[in-house]
Amino acid sequence: MSYVDEVIAQVVEKNPAEPEFHQAVKEVLESLRPVVEQNEELYRREAILERIVNPERQIKFRVPWVDDKGQVQVNTGYRVQFNSAIGPYKGGLRLHPSVNLGIIKFLGFEQIFKNSLTGLPIGGGKGGSDFDPKGKSDREVMAFCQSFMTELYKYIGADTDVPAGDIGTGAREIGYMFGQYKRIKGVYEGVLTGKGLSYGGSLARTEATGYGLLYFVAEMLKTNGKDLKGKTVAVSGAGNVAIYAIQKAQQLGAKPVTCSDSTGWIYDPEGIDVALLKEVKEVKRARLSEYAAARKSAEYHEKKDSNDHGVWNIKCDVALPCATQNELNLDDAKALVANGCFAVAEGANMPTTPDATEYLQKNGILFAPGKASNAGGVATSALEMSQNSERLSWTFEEVDGKLKGIMENIFHNLDDAAKRYGHEGDYVVGANIAGFEKVVNAMLAQGVC
């Protein structure tokens, strides 16, 4: 059995009931075969793969809080500190009922390579809770966030572990958590990113993941002799990533025509009205049916079941899955290819199932894996850490300019890595190899730890 296969088998055996984690490990390790085979003796002796698939630390804790009726509720909190070889742990906090240890481990594992790809000094981590902020009052969200931080504060800090937002954790939740950390620790430090502008946040952080995705796509298309101008774009999701991906796509001359949330999706052939979308999702926190009610050109489609990913049946040139994991499956990939789509770039983490990715790549679609194409969020978080350290705030243009440069660099790093190992154009292989090499070199230099 090859070293890669041995370690994959160990991960499956030792981490039962964590299918998303298995999926992420398989996807990464499979694509690292060319590097592992070249260095097998060294990596085996140093147990590099065993170390990289085992988190340095995983913390699971009780989060009790009182709801508006006076009833005590109990959620579970997690923080997985996966790898600190190249910097303090960095990665978001997901608040969603589907959260469990396996989901957080898959996200933390991916984060190691993503953070490495940014070229910035940040290690990989992830956290969250099965708490659902949807339908809760502000006071209930605050009660949860304060309780969550009352435990989490013991394990994080500006130089050790710096969490950020993710699904369900936006500016409101980060604000409550930051306030509680400051209150308990008595220290005003950049312990979280995604903060409000008046207390250490960075301009352009809100826009960063969506904008970064489009900077990456523009560079990928340019390198392949294509262009975004005049192209039709299908987007899924209607959250932070999707909204700013749609906005930047428009700024770059493309026409995004779809978006979705967990209950339905919109097809708007005239192009998505970003101001209206923001009003519905960011201000009112309402369903997308309200978008359709306010806009004549839009069609609203109620989601039939969890396998209904309607947006991928719309004819488009470029597809940007920006909602959640495993939301673009093999049937969706077939529909995209049949409709003439030529590029798919992941805004969400692992939104494309492995068989769909394989199908897209086999059919000549330019495919950008999320750990590269959505790295703009964490890169800008790292820029927020830099600004906090020097107690300065950079302008929007300064941060946005750095973000663009970082995304273009990421693309060329992984393009080069893919070429070096004879996989030209395979950006999945390129991203994993480029991210892995830097982390492994740092691990080897730091000895057995």
332 contacts ligand NDP (rule: CB under 6 A): no
Residue among 81, 374, 388, 413 that touches ligand NDP (CB under 6 A) = 374
Cβ proximity to ligand NDP: between 59 and 171 the closer is 171
- Cα–Cα dist 117/106, whole Å: 17
- Cα–Cα dist 139/429, whole Å: 45
Residue among 127, 133, 165, 310 that touches ligand NDP (CB under 6 A) = 165
321 contacts ligand NDP (rule: CB under 6 A): no
Cβ proximity to ligand NDP: between 198 and 306 the closer is 306
Work out the burial of residue 234: count CB atoms within 10 Å of its CB; fewer than 13 is exposed, 13-18 middle, 19 or more buried. Answer: buried
260 contacts ligand NDP (rule: CB under 6 A): yes
Tell me how far, at minimum, the Cβ of 51 lies from ligand NDP, in Å. Answer: 25
- Cα–Cα dist 164/195, whole Å: 8
Per the CB < 8 A criterion, the answer to whether 297 and 282 are in contact is: no
Residue among 209, 258, 353, 432 that touches ligand NDP (CB under 6 A) = 209
Per the CB < 8 A criterion, the answer to whether 376 and 401 are in contact is: no
- CA separation, residue 288 to residues 137, 253, 412 (Å): 20, 24, 37
118 contacts ligand NDP (rule: CB under 6 A): no
404 catalytic? Reply is no
Q: Which stretch binds ligand NDP (CB under 6 A): 166-174, 245-253, 415-423, 427-435?
A: 166-174
Tell me how far, at minimum, the Cβ of 327 lies from ligand NDP, in Å. Answer: 5
Nearest to 126 by CA among 448, 381, 386, 441: 381
Nearest to 21 by CA among 349, 428, 338, 332: 349
268 contacts ligand NDP (rule: CB under 6 A): no
Tell me how far, at minimum, the Cβ of 348 lies from ligand NDP, in Å. Answer: 3
Residue nearest ligand NDP by beta-carbon distance:
239
413 contacts ligand NDP (rule: CB under 6 A): no
Where would I find the H helices in 70-168? 101-117, 138-152
Which residues contribute to the site for ligand NDP (CB under 6 A)?
165-168, 209, 236-242, 260-263, 322-324, 327, 347-349, 374, 377
